[in-house]
Chains A and B, each alone.
Chain A
Amino acid sequence: MQVPAQVEYEKAASVEHALTLLARYGSAARVLAGGHSLIPMMKLRLAQPEVLIDINAITDLCYINLTGAQLRIGTLTRHAQLLDSQLIGEHFAILHDAERVIADPIVRNWGTVGGSLCQADPSEDLSAAFAALKGTMVIHGPDGSREVSAREFHTGPYETVVGPAELLTEITLPIRPGGGSGYQKVSRRTGDWPVGAAGAAIWLSGDVIADAGIGLTAVGATHFAAAEAEEYLRGKIATEETLARAGEIAAENCRPASDQRGPADYKRHLASELTTRALRLAVARARGQAT
């Protein structure tokens, strides 16, 4: 088995402590949460940080709380905890759909939500899911905290707005009436990265789509979102025709790349097909016709 290069190690006892360490080491340091994105990269020597800042002791960052009309997820929450959470299942079925198809049950025990989002793989399922839900990222730094939309969080493959002296601490999701959500993924085998995946969140007002959120991953969608398709849907009635059209628009606006998972034309087709399927599921759930 391949093994990491030499590295130094610090253990952070609190968010403040973590920020102090990050300030000291700067870009020579990487945050170590579950490590299930970082450690594999270190073993292959694709990442060679000089210092690891282990934040696993900051149990304060592990929570799923309902506060008024907001659901707040601490970034150290393990994937398995998100999947097990009744609160999440009740309000954001898309996250359960997505977690069920992320990696495998053992990896989900240790990998964290924050870790996956900060790894920023262009095929990351949670990035699409949170984009669909229009979540907000809370980032702590030396000057306090700031908020960034989930749709502005990623700046490129493996790049986010989190600076070298900052820590992603929370994702907040607004709970709005009439909502339903769902996730659809195609992969070559269970646990594989998606060939293409789509997440949709719909908020109905009567029969009308008051708002829509569509997240796409692995297909080169800007900021993991299908903004044009969302725009199209707003104010429309959810029918087979409008959902299919939304899928087409989503596909028109992404830029998939060919790789071993599939050629670009197939991925573009998936963007359309899966967007429509995710929307269908979201609408059915919003109408109380599906679980």
Chain B
Amino acid sequence: MKVTVTVNGSEYSRDVEPRLLLIHLLRDELGLTGSHWGCDTSNCGACVVWLDETPVKSCTVLAVMADGRRVLTVEGLGSGAALDPVQQGFAECHGLQCGFCTPGMMLTARWLLDRSPDPSPAEVREAISGQICRCTGYENIVRAVLWAAKNGGGR
């Protein structure tokens, strides 16, 4: 069936099977491979994107559920050549190593800072508690988000 989604500000229409997962629409149909997948059971959060205003685990959402809605992926963070402060923070603070969990982490961080511009470290940890990183031990991710909060974190 036909699904129309606005991703990072551009509208796309595709004919898909109802069972197609949103993460596969983004990666395989639209070639937006910045969002990743890492598990079968909605635990790891490598697939986090925004659906309308909130981050969701896009491996647990059908593409057809996103019909008529807006999606934000890592490719839509920042504008043009300019990085979002969250992206800058991750680079500044070594908040990534292999980079696989990073897009999801950054999108959750962006959402957190939009709602809570000056979070405590505990609030940052709570916000990312549904997402797994195997490389950083989380410390530098937290530092990256706090850096972004202090350095132009508001959009």
Residues of chain A lying within 8 A (CB to CB) of residue B56: 106, 109-110
The reply to whether A9 and B18 form a contact with Cβ atoms under 8 Å apart is yes
Residues of chain A lying within 8 A (CB to CB) of residue B15: none
The reply to whether B61 and A4 form a contact with Cβ atoms under 8 Å apart is no
- Tell me the smallest distance from the CB of B43 to a CB of chain A, in Å: 8
The reply to whether A5 and B41 form a contact with Cβ atoms under 8 Å apart is no
Interface: B65 (CB within 8 A): yes
Residues of chain B lying within 8 A (CB to CB) of residue A1: 21, 23, 37-40, 59
| A1-B39, A9-B1, A52-B18 known; A109 vs B54 contact (CB < 8 Å) | yes
The reply to whether A54 and B65 form a contact with Cβ atoms under 8 Å apart is yes
- Tell me the smallest distance from the CB of A192 to a CB of chain B, in Å: 9
- Contact size range, A: 20 to 34
The reply to whether A110 and B48 form a contact with Cβ atoms under 8 Å apart is no
Number of A-B contacts (CB under 8 A): 89
- Tell me the smallest distance from the CB of A47 to a CB of chain B, in Å: 12
Q: Known A-B contacts: A4-B19, A39-B61, A107-B60. Give 12 more (CB < 8 A).
A: A1-B23, A5-B19, A6-B17, A9-B62, A9-B64, A40-B41, A44-B40, A105-B130, A107-B130, A109-B56, A110-B60, A110-B61
What is the interface of chain B, defined by CB distance below 8 A to chain A? Answer: 1, 17-19, 21, 23-24, 37-43, 45, 48, 51, 54-57, 59-62, 64-65, 108, 126-127, 129-131
What are the nearest 9 A-B pairs in CB distance? A104-B130, A9-B18, A109-B54, A4-B19, A2-B40, A106-B130, A1-B37, A110-B56, A39-B60
